[in-house]
Amino acid sequence: EDQVTQSPEALRLQEGESSSLNCSYTVSGLRGLFWYRQDPGKGPEFLFTLYSAGEEKEKERLKATLTKKESFLHITAPKPEDSATYLCAVQEVDSSYKLIFGSGTRLLVRP
């Protein structure tokens, strides 16, 4: 069965302490992998789309990478405002509209 698994479930970092979030997936064919950030009670905010293994994208302190089995979201020198839930979602080749979401990683960055 197709599955998207995110780890860890929760992560506490000190301000400036870099780390990585993981999203592993098992789908028959990958159309795209999407990273979103979600603050409590708000809609997911788009961060990155990755389409093929080896692809990397960066935005400020965030960098997303993709292999054939997983994606990493690297956070460099995080700040308290980076605290949020980070959601990974995968879209299969055979499905143009459905996103398969992971359960998310809740990140807390302490000052």
Partner 1 sequence: DTEVTQTPKHLVMGMTNKKSLKCEQHMGHRAMYWYKQKAKKPPELMFVYSYEKLSINESVPSRFSPECPNSSLLNLHLHALQPEDSALYLCASSYSGGETQYFGPGTRLLVL
Chain centre to alpha carbon of residue 109: 16
Cα dihedral sign, 21-7-44-35: positive
Residue 32 or 76 with smaller CB distance to partner 1:
32
Nearer residue to partner 1 within complex by CB, 75 or 87: 87
Q: Token digits for 27?
A: 């789908």
- Closest distance of CB 77 from partner 1, Å: 26
Nearer to partner 1, 66 or 89 (CB): 89
Residue showing tokens 């956070």? 75
CB of 97: closest distance to partner 1 in angstroms?
Answer: 5
Catalog residues that contact partner 1 under the rule CB under 8 A.
31-32, 34, 36, 41-46, 49, 87, 89, 91, 96-99, 101-104
Is the peptide bond preceding residue 8 cis, with omega within 30 degrees of 0? yes
41 vs 54 by CB, closer to partner 1: 41
- Name the minimum Å distance from CB 93 to partner 1: 9
Q: Which of 80, 60, 64 is nearest to 23 (CA)?
A: 64
